[in-house]
Structure 1
Amino acid sequence: MIEVEHLTKHYGQKIAVNDVSFVVRPGSVTGFLGPNGAGKSTTMRMIMGLDRPTAGGAIVNGAPYRSFPDPLRQVGALLEAKAVHSGRSAYNHLLALAATHGIPKARVHEVIDMTGLDAVAKKRVGGFSLGMGQRLGIAAALLGDPKTLILDEPVNGLDPDGVVWVRQLARRMAADGRTVFLSSHLMSEMAQTADRVVVLGRGRVLADAPIAEFVAGGESGGANRVLVRTPAPDQLFGAIGSEASAVTPREDGAFVVVGPDARRIGDVAAQVGAPVHELTPMGASLEEAYMALTRDDVEYRSEGAR
C-alpha cells in the first residue's frame, strides 16, 4: 500500500506539488494521470525518497521508502529508464542490482525472460532503443519480486505488443494482491488497465475515484449521449428542441446528441415521422472525462486545443 499525506514540494517560488493526499491499495491497478507539469513525476520521486518534500510525507508498505533495508524486495520502480550505466550489458546491470540484495542469479535470468530481453541481454545498454530501455527498467523493477510496483510512463517507446504486455503484467501483479501504481498519457490504455485513477492538475488532486465513477461524471456531466443517424436531421432535432443541450455532427454523417436518452429520441422521431437509421447510447470515454476535468489545469496548451 502507498499512503500519501499532505505531500507538498516547492522549488523556490514554484509550487510543484500542493497538499496532495491519496491512498493506493493492494489488489488493484491505480492510474496516475495529469497534464505535463502537473506534478506526477515529482510526487513519485518523493514517494521513492529521491526528492525531499517541503511538507507532508509518504509511506509504502507501512514505512518510509528510505527506511527499508531491502528496498528492491519492497518496491519495484521505473522512474527513469535511462538511469543505467551505458557501458554495461543488460545482464550485468541486473546482476549488479541483484548482488546488493542477495538476489540469486536465477532471478536475473527469470526477469530477463519475463521482459523479452533474452536476445539483447549481453549487449551494452548504450545501444538500446527506447523500448528496450523501458523493458530493462521494468526488469529491474521486478527483480526483487516486490510487493509494490511504481511505474512512470512504462509504455513509453514500446511497440503494440509491448504495450499489451505491460497491461497484462500490471493486471497480473494486482490480481496477485500487490499494489500497482502507474502513470501514462495513453488514455485508451489506461482505460483498459486501471481500476482507479488519481488525477493531478497544477500540483493539486483533481480526482481520486474508481475509473467507472470518474468516467460517468465526465464531459457531459453525467448526461445521456446518443449516436443518431437520420436522413432528416432538421425535422428530428427541430422537434427535440431544447431537450438536447448539444447536437454535434460527425464526419461520418452521424450526430452525437447530449441530453435526451435513446428512448426519448426514438419516441420523438416516431411522433414527427422522422426516419432513424441508428440510435446508439454512447458511454463517455476516459479521455473525454480527463480532458474535461483538466481543461483549466494545462500548463502548456497547443493552439489547436484552445
Structure 2
Amino acid sequence: MITAEGLTKRFGDKTAVDDVSFTIKPGAVTGFLGPNGAGKSTTMRMIVGLDRPTSGLTTVGGREYRKLGAPLTEVGVLLDAKAVHTGRTARNHLRAMAATHGIPASRVDEVIDLAGIGSVARKRAGKFSLGMGQRLGIASALLGDPHTLILDEPVNGLDPEGVRWVRQFVRHAASEGRTVLLSSHLMSEMAQTADHVIVMGRGKVLADAPLEDLVRAWTTNRVRVRTPHGAALAQLVAGPDVEIVSTAPDLFDITGLPASRIGDLAAERGVALHELTPTTGSLEDAYLALTGEAVEYRTKEIA
C-alpha cells in the first residue's frame, strides 16, 4: 500500500505539489494521470525518497521509503529509463543492482528474459533505442520481485507487442495482490489497464475514484442517429432535457434519451432510421473535462 498525507513540495516560490493525500491499495492497478506540470513526477519522486517533502508524509507498506531495509525487494521503480551508466551492458547494469541487495545472478537472467532484452543483454545501454531502454528500466524495476510497483510512462517508446506485454504484466501483478501505480499520457491504454484513477492538476488531486465511476461522472452518453427526416426526428424527441445536435445533413447526436426510446418513437411515427448507435463517454473525454482548467502548458488550437 502507498499512502500520501498532506504531501506538499515547493521549489522556491513554485508549489509543485499542494497538500496531496491519497491511498493506493494492493490488488488493483491505479492510474496516475495529469497534464504536464501537474505534479505527478514530483509526487512519485517523493514516494521513493528522491525529493524531500516540504511538508506531509508518504509511506510504502506503512514505512517511509528511506527506512526500508532492502528497497529493491519491496518497491520496483521506473522513473527515468535513461538513468543507466551508458558504458555498461544491460546485464552488468542489472548485476550491479542485484549485488547491492544480495539478489542472485539467476534473477538477473529471469528479468532479462521477462522484459524481452535477451538479444541485447550484452550490448552497452548507451546504444539502446528508446524502446529497449524502457525494457531495461522495467527489468530493473522487477529485479527484486517487489510487492509494490511504481512505473512512470513505462510504455513510452515501446512497440505494440511491448505495450500489450506491459498491460498484461501489471494486471497480472495486481491480481497477485501487489500494489501498482502506473503513470501514462495514453488514455486509451490506461482505459484498458487501470482499475482506479487518481488525476492531478496544478499540484492538487482533482479526482480519486474507480475508473468507471470517473467516466460516468464526467461524461455524457449520446445516441448517434442517422435519418433523412431530421425535422421529424427533432419533433419526436423534443423535451426539456433533450438536446439534438446536427453533425451532418442526415446525422444527429442526441442526449437526454436512451437509444431504445428514440427507436420506439421513430417506429411509432414511421420515421425511418438508418443508424441508431449509443455512444458512451471515454476516459479521454472525462480526463479533458476534468483537467480543462488545470492545464499549465496549453497549445494553440489549429483553425
Q: Which runs of 4+ in 1 moved over 6 A?
A: none
Q: CA deviation at 1:259?
A: 1.4
Residue aligned with 1:103, SS: coil
* Preserved contact between residue 8 and residue 20 of structure 2 (Cα < 8 Å): yes
Tell me how far apart the structure 1 counterparts of residues 38 and 239 of structure 2 sit (CA, whole Å). Answer: 38
Tell me how far apart the structure 1 counterparts of residues 145 and 290 of structure 2 sit (CA, whole Å). Answer: 36
Q: CA deviation at 1:17?
A: 0.6
Counterpart residue number, 2:267: 270
Given the two structures, how large is their TM-score scaled by the length of structure 2? 0.95
Counterpart residue number, 2:155: 155
Counterpart residue number, 1:208: 208
Counterpart residue number, 1:301: 298
Given the two structures, how large is their TM-score scaled by the length of structure 1? 0.95
Counterpart residue number, 2:140: 140
Tell me how far apart the structure 1 counterparts of residues 238 and 300 of structure 2 sit (CA, whole Å). Answer: 33
What amino acid does structure 2 have at the position aligned with 1:61? G
Q: CA deviation at 1:109?
A: 0.2
- 1:151-180 Cα deviation digits (max 9, x unpaired): 000000111111101000100100111000
In structure 1, runs of 5+ residues without a counterpart are none
- Of residues 252, 264, 284 in structure 2, which corresponds to 1:287? 284
Counterpart residue number, 2:231: 234
Residue aligned with 1:93, SS: helix
Q: CA deviation at 1:284?
A: 1.2
In structure 2, runs of 5+ residues without a counterpart are none
Tell me how far apart the structure 1 counterparts of residues 275 and 211 of structure 2 sit (CA, whole Å). Answer: 28
What amino acid does structure 2 have at the position aligned with 1:171? R
What amino acid does structure 1 have at the position aligned with 2:285? E
- Answer yes or no: is 1:171 the counterpart of 2:168: no
Counterpart residue number, 1:74: 74
Counterpart residue number, 1:44: 44
- Answer yes or no: is 1:225 the counterpart of 2:196: no
Q: CA deviation at 1:271?
A: 4.5
More displaced, 229-238 or 263-272? 263-272
Q: CA deviation at 1:252?
A: 11
- Answer yes or no: is 1:259 the counterpart of 2:274: no
- Relative to structure 1, the CA distance from residue 68 to residue 245 in structure 2 (aligned partners, 3 Å threshold; closer, same or farther) is same
What amino acid does structure 2 have at the position aligned with 1:116? G
Q: CA deviation at 1:133?
A: 0.5
* Preserved contact between residue 29 and residue 171 of structure 2 (Cα < 8 Å): yes
RMSD: 1.7
- Relative to structure 1, the CA distance from residue 305 to residue 292 in structure 2 (aligned partners, 3 Å threshold; closer, same or farther) is farther
Counterpart residue number, 1:54: 54
* Preserved contact between residue 35 and residue 201 of structure 2 (Cα < 8 Å): yes
- 1:91-149 Cα deviation digits (max 9, x unpaired): 00000000000000000000000000000000000010111000000000000000100
* Preserved contact between residue 225 and residue 282 of structure 1 (Cα < 8 Å): yes
* Preserved contact between residue 243 and residue 260 of structure 1 (Cα < 8 Å): no
Counterpart residue number, 1:14: 14
Q: What is the percentage of aligned positions where both structures have the same residue?
A: 62
Residue aligned with 2:218, SS: coil
